[in-house]
Structure 1
Amino acid sequence: MTIYTQKGSISLSDLQNGKKITLLHGGSGPADPKGPKAQTAATALNSVLENISSPEAQTYESSLLLEHKKMNHATGATKAEIRAVKAAYLLEHNPCFNAGYGAALQSDGVARVSASFMESTRQKFSAVMNCRDIINPSKLAFLLQHEKFCVLDSTGARNLIHDLKLPTEDLATVERLEAYTQSNAESQALHPFEPDGKGTIGAVVVDCDGHLAAVTSTGGVGFETVGRVGDTPTVAGNFCTHEVAISCTGYGEQIVNSALAAAIATRVADGFSLVAAVEKSLLDGQKKGYEFAAICIHKDSQTNTIHWVAASLEPYFVWAARVGTQTLGFWDSLPA
């Protein structure tokens, strides 16, 4: 049994000297990027890491904080929170991923997106699911952090969009509509639906103050039952405590069945190293024939060390990491 793992660590003093860590993923599993599409996705992830402080991202940060103020949130946001949500914003605007613009279409031909957010100071989970016509569901999940009712379905999300006067737009691309038409034809001919190789996105961050944040955003699996909910807007797919931040990707139902992100966090809290916690959690899934992956950061206060891991049960996990000024990443070399 093989688990594909990349890992690294830095000292807490390096972190305090400004050497923050950001990990991103663009999907893992049979439905997600492989071959040339994987390389395109990996290039996009690296571009996000390079441009997370670009004028476009800074403008988005300003609008984000303005919406934050509109909702009468008394406390500010940590650098980790803002960095994670800015990364999600850039990825949700890139149609080579299955999130935001270019999201997969459900069986009725409509794109519905979901996202969740969590960070280490409040340790509060917030999420939206099956939202229509909103390109950045990660923004909604972030803004719900200070709300009493912080997990909303499609109706609640639509009301929030209206209350905040956020712009709406059609998320379907020409490529998605063509894939949907083909899927309908294949279904009628009793042929299986073939996924298009675009994946869920996620980000985990630790800032120079030691704050953690995790965000995950998805357009689902494509051609699924209308209203289907996967792992992304649950603590199985996205989780953060005072010491660990986790974002998962793969088959949503399998991730939920494994309570994957929460299981990894629990094992770390119980004394497992981050690598051991991740590999044990993935191994448990592998024994059931599951296929999923995760990116994680652990702030180990006992050893004054920050650890990070990107791990997958499949060799085609698209991810990237920025550790200080160094960028790392991986994708498969299989044909599309």
Structure 2
Amino acid sequence: MGGWAIAVHGGAGVDPNLPLERQEEAKQLLTRCLNLGISALRSNLPAIDVVELVVRELETDPIFNSGRGSALTEQGTVEMEASIMDGQKRRCGAVSGVTTVKNPISLARLVMDKSPHSYLAFSGAEEFARQQGVEVVDNKYFITKENVGMLKLAKEAKTILFDYRIPAVGLDTCSAGVDSPLVMNGLPISVYAPETVGCVVVDGQGHCAAATSTGGLMNKMMGRIGDSPLIGAGTYAGDLCGVSCTGEGEAIIRGTLAREVAAVMEYKGLGLQEAVDFVIKERLDEGYAGLIAVSRNGEVAYGFNTTGMFRGCATEDGFMEVGIWE
């Protein structure tokens, strides 16, 4: 075993014209979350507890698209989803269509620990949350003024907007204001950008865990479920590694991206970074995505085929990096 390692992400596909102030805010949040995870790992907290702790922090801050600050549905509400997986025995829990739970990742953890199931959705997930006594809030808590403005823009454009953080002022300089050749499931979209947060950890015992949480797509159809709560697509952890994905959910689902990293490590004998690079290059079928990963040997890796990915990583030997661009 090579010691502990941790990585976090806040989405892949950053608009190149994102204001420097927003970039700095994002990097500060990623640094804070990394330090929170590092402190927990130094205190010998298990990997599964660390990923939940870090993603809760990401859900609470409105900078990224999860928890408070989540993208809005076509009806102006928030429907969130999350999943968590413990590499030990590959235990997992997931939720979708959550509208009042303050921290969906913790509800996913409870599904794993306190229910006979792996996945609960919509009214069933909400009822389970109340049975478990988790903190709930009004749906308005998750809605920000900025996202209300972006939903208006999306409706005017009659499309799905992926970059919910592009400011309403100066759209002529942002990719949201120009035509795009990108498509999702054969349909055109206007812009591609972050939609998810996640954390992967290997602890000092060599145990891996992964967690992912999102509000989904701006102006998405009611009831749409993306890759984030799907084990093997947006989230996966096993004996070899832990993986969390972000990006074009439909492409990630088709490629079962997170599981594929572990599969090529297991069946092709690739190292962690080799596996990540292979999956990003060979398994996206013209889709756009990014991912973070850790191995049981204390390695950390990331990859993306977009203009950028909000990410940070650290290892026990003192390495630490926070970045956005290539």
Give the TM-score normalised by the residue count of structure 1. Answer: 0.79
Residues 69-108 of structure 1 mapped to structure 2, 5 A cutoff: 79-108=46-75
What's 2:34 paired with?
49
Per-residue deviation, 1:78? 6.1
CA distance in 2, matches of 1:106, 1:298: 36
1:40 maps to 2:25: yes
What's 2:314 paired with?
322
CA distance in 2, matches of 1:129, 1:99: 12
Q: 1:32 to 1:81 in 2, by over 3 A?
A: farther
Q: 1:260 to 1:192 in 2, by over 3 A?
A: closer
Residues 15-30 of structure 1 mapped to structure 2, 5 A cutoff: 15=3, 20-29=4-13
Q: Once the two structures are superposed, what CA deviation does each residue of 1:104-146 show, in whole Å capped at 9, x if it has no partner?
A: 0011111111000101112022100110022211001111223
What's 1:256 paired with?
253
**Other structure's SS at 1:125 match:** strand
Per-residue deviation, 1:273? 1.7
CA distance in 1, matches of 2:74, 2:275: 37
CA distance in 2, matches of 1:33, 1:264: 31
What's 1:9 paired with?
none
Which stretch of structure 1 is more off in the superposition, 35-44 or 311-320?
A: 35-44
Q: 1:111 to 1:129 in 2, by over 3 A?
A: same
CA distance in 1, matches of 2:310, 2:19: 11
What's 1:308 paired with?
300
Instruction: Indicate conservation of the 8 Å contact 1:108/1:226, yes or no.
Output: yes
CA distance in 1, matches of 2:83, 2:122: 13
Q: 1:34 to 1:332 in 2, by over 3 A?
A: farther
Residues 122-271 of structure 1 mapped to structure 2, 5 A cutoff: 122-146=89-113, 147-169=115-137, 170-187=141-158, 193=161, 195-197=163-165, 199-234=195-230, 235-270=232-267, 271=269
Identity of aligned residues (%): 25
CA distance in 1, matches of 2:15, 2:226: 14
Instruction: Indicate conservation of the 8 Å contact 1:203/1:214, yes or no.
Output: yes
Per-residue deviation, 1:326? 3.6
Q: 1:233 to 1:136 in 2, by over 3 A?
A: same
Q: 1:246 to 1:33 in 2, by over 3 A?
A: farther
What's 1:6 paired with?
none
Q: Which runs of 4+ in 1 moved over 3 A?
A: 30-35, 51-54, 191-194
CA RMSD of aligned residues (A): 2.3
CA distance in 1, matches of 2:98, 2:212: 14
* Unmatched runs of 5 consecutive residues or more in structure 2: 166-193
Instruction: Indicate conservation of the 8 Å contact 1:239/1:246, yes or no.
Output: yes
Which stretch of structure 1 is more off in the superposition, 260-269 or 277-286?
A: 277-286
**Other structure's SS at 1:163 match:** helix
The AA in structure 1 aligned to 2:321 is L
Per-residue deviation, 1:32? 9.9
Q: 1:113 to 1:139 in 2, by over 3 A?
A: same
The AA in structure 1 aligned to 2:121 is D
CA distance in 2, matches of 1:212, 1:117: 11
Which stretch of structure 1 is more off in the superposition, 109-118 or 267-276?
A: 267-276
The AA in structure 2 aligned to 1:259 is T
CA distance in 2, matches of 1:53, 1:282: 27
Per-residue deviation, 1:38? 3.3
Q: Identify the match of residue 87 of structure 2 among 120, 128, 134.
A: 120
What's 2:173 paired with?
none
What's 2:270 paired with?
272
Which stretch of structure 1 is more off in the superposition, 103-112 or 27-36?
A: 27-36
Per-residue deviation, 1:53? 7.5
CA distance in 2, matches of 1:277, 1:321: 17
Instruction: Indicate conservation of the 8 Å contact 1:134/1:171, yes or no.
Output: no
